[in-house]
Chain A
Amino acid sequence: MVELMNKTNKTETIKIKTPSELIGQSTPAVDKRSVFNTKNFNLWYGDHHALKDINLDIKENEVTAIIGPSGCGKSTYIKALNRMVELVPIVKTNGEINYRGRNILGASYEVEELRTRVGMVFQKPNPFPKSIYDNIAYGPRIHGIKNKKILDEIVEKSLRGAAIWDEVKDRLNQNAYGLSGGQQQRICIARCLAIEPDVILMDEPTSALDPISTLKVEELVQELKDNYSIIIVTHNMQQAARISDKTAFFLNGEVVEFDHTDKIFSTPKDQRTEDYISGRFG
């Protein structure tokens, strides 16, 4: 009962930040450096031309939201950024995606190297069927860290970073599957933080979560952007408006509009963007 009350208290403290507040925070004082600069990028699944001539310049320490109706290519695009899309055998690409100035599609770029710097949080929480500790330590371990002390520190730091340390610190050895869906997703975010990435890609991270867990993840995204660049795919326009600095609107594999979030939602330039955000389709 006490636990339950604590929980309800916590949820009350979560404040939803309005778009105007967010924009106030994010107006850049100096020009930010680019993390992902996509130039004339095309992608095909077999014969299906899924992404057409994408040009996007994503800056560091910002939250960039990608919105659009189902099947518009937004998930495909974000998966191209860490080359996860290559797990589908029939994918072909051309063009350039420059990560910090280097083309990740180039032959010399190892995916393992890229994915160490560009972490990903998936649509469905996908912890390993291992203990919470082993889940978080997975990344550091594959990169060769064996020292128990260092691992302990990374686990604590990552769990604190994902705002879930207090909830799980007494049961680090329990299976991560025993947690609720929202907790599992924050474990996955912590697991992603543990490899100390530069960019975090989030592919509809809250679509499988209840509203309270969704708010927690959204608040977390706000905290994380001080240290990380975040690119988040969402089909929830309110979410994009709440948490992002910039928004890209995808439609039928093309970028229709990419601008500051407040501009996209208040004065879109393109009629299709306006139709979409006002709920006329999608």
Chain B
Amino acid sequence: MKYIDDTVVMKRMKSRLKYNSLWKLIFLIATSLALLTLVILLVRIVTQGSGHLNLDFFNNFGSRFPDKAGIKAALIGSVLLMLIIAPVSMILGVGTAIYLEEYAKKSKLTSFIQMNISNLAGVPSIVFGLLGLTIFVRMLVLGKSLLAAGFTMSLLILPVIIVASQEAIRAVPKEQREASYGMGATKWQTITRVVLPAAIPGILTGTILALSRAVGETAPLVVLGIPVILQFLPDSLLSQFTTLPLQIYDWAKRPQEEFQYVASAGIIVLMILLVIMNSIAIFIRNKFQKRY
């Protein structure tokens, strides 16, 4: 007795195959929509902005006149901000990840900490802006400075770096640690000589991706009261500054149509900066990744 009847199977075959291709089409449309949006965005920005992309654009400060408006202060401000965020967030983030993965005993407290780190990663960035305003700008009297903004942004991306680093550290096989401990190495020697060298590619990739998020972030800086236009470059950690997204935001909201094109030019610069950073992350991942 056969349960599967060949004639029935053949009769249903056509509709099954049709249904199969229908779903393929739906998924293809979904993918195309995302791609299409990206293409429209890029085409629009490039056609609008490329006219303003010249040497003067990089050499000029902000201005009331679209022709004289430049991105110098914003670009340098963004780069300087990144130079503060990178070491601060990396030292704190990797340190926390090492503590949680290698030192902390599994307890209710550590799983509570772990849960809160994951939750922090989902907190809206504007909330971090309010935190930074309260603690760094007012309580520690750092003002609307590079340092205050750098610390705020570091806190913002800290959870992402911690989680990425933890995953990289966890991916180092336990056999590697055992080999090291088995020869009488201390925990610190094992971490610096075995765990970190193997985890560094993952840690750096996560950190750079988090950094590029920080570079594109606007809301916390608005809350901190960072100016959108500046006529000078910051000369110390405590001086005022502005960043690319803020500058772009300012241009985009101006009534003159010409400023829309200036804003597009600014977006091109910001996107190139992000593409460079992401490329570095991919390069590091491919070059140093070790397989076990």
| Given A89-B105, A128-B194: A119 and B176 interface contact (C-beta under 8 Å) | no
The answer for the CA separation of A115 and B186 in the assembled complex, in Å, is 10
Inter-subunit contact A112/B178 (CB<8 Å): no
Using Cβ atoms and an 8 Å threshold, which residues of chain A touch B177?
87
Partner of A138 from B178, B180, B186 at Cβ < 8 Å: B180
B:194-229 near A, CB below 8 Å: 194, 198
Inter-subunit contact B183/A126 (CB<8 Å): no
Inter-subunit contact A126/B179 (CB<8 Å): yes
Interface assignment of A116: CB less than 8 Å from any CB of chain B: yes
Contact flags B176-190 to A (C-beta < 8 A → 1, else 0):
111111111110010
**How many A-B contacts at CB < 8 Å in the complex?**
65
Q: How far is the CB of A108 from chain B (nearest CB, A)?
A: 16
Inter-subunit contact A126/B194 (CB<8 Å): no
Interface assignment of B193: CB less than 8 Å from any CB of chain A: yes
Interface assignment of B3: CB less than 8 Å from any CB of chain A: no
Q: How far is the CB of A230 from chain B (nearest CB, A)?
A: 15
The answer for the CA separation of A116 and B182 in the assembled complex, in Å, is 8
Using Cβ atoms and an 8 Å threshold, which residues of chain A touch B292?
129
Q: How far is the CB of A51 from chain B (nearest CB, A)?
A: 19
B:232-289 near A, CB below 8 Å: none
Contact flags A108-143 to B (C-beta < 8 A → 1, else 0):
000111111001101010111100000000110011
Give the interface size class of chain A: 20 to 34
Interface assignment of B290: CB less than 8 Å from any CB of chain A: yes
B107 nearest CB neighbor, chain A only: A89
The answer for the CA separation of A124 and B180 in the assembled complex, in Å, is 14
| Given A89-B105, A128-B176: A82 and B182 interface contact (C-beta under 8 Å) | yes
Using Cβ atoms and an 8 Å threshold, which residues of chain B touch A114?
184
| Given A126-B175, A126-B176: A84 and B181 interface contact (C-beta under 8 Å) | yes
Interface assignment of A154: CB less than 8 Å from any CB of chain B: no
Interface assignment of A192: CB less than 8 Å from any CB of chain B: yes
Interface assignment of A231: CB less than 8 Å from any CB of chain B: no
Interface assignment of B12: CB less than 8 Å from any CB of chain A: no
Partner of B184 from A89, A128, A143 at Cβ < 8 Å: A143
The answer for the CA separation of A114 and B198 in the assembled complex, in Å, is 27
Partner of A115 from B173, B174, B181, B290 at Cβ < 8 Å: B181
Inter-subunit contact A116/B176 (CB<8 Å): no
Inter-subunit contact B184/A142 (CB<8 Å): yes
Interface assignment of B108: CB less than 8 Å from any CB of chain A: no
The answer for the CA separation of A231 and B147 in the assembled complex, in Å, is 59
Interface assignment of A188: CB less than 8 Å from any CB of chain B: yes
Interface assignment of B14: CB less than 8 Å from any CB of chain A: no
B:120-179 near A, CB below 8 Å: 173-179
Using Cβ atoms and an 8 Å threshold, which residues of chain B touch A191?
179, 183
12 example contacts (A-B, Cβ-Cβ < 8 A) are as follows: A84-B181, A87-B174, A89-B105, A112-B186, A122-B179, A122-B182, A127-B179, A128-B176, A128-B194, A142-B180, A142-B185, A191-B179
Please give the residue numbers on chain A whose beta carbons come within 8 Å of chain B beta carbons, in ascending order: 82, 84, 87, 89, 111-116, 119-120, 122, 124, 126-129, 138-139, 142-143, 188, 191-192, 195
Apart from A115-B182, A122-B179, A127-B179, list 14 A-B contacts with CB within 8 A: A84-B182, A112-B185, A112-B186, A113-B184, A115-B181, A115-B183, A120-B178, A122-B175, A122-B178, A129-B292, A142-B180, A142-B193, A191-B179, A191-B183
| 8 smallest beta-carbon distances between A and B, as pairs | A116-B184, A126-B175, A115-B184, A120-B182, A139-B183, A142-B185, A112-B184, A126-B179
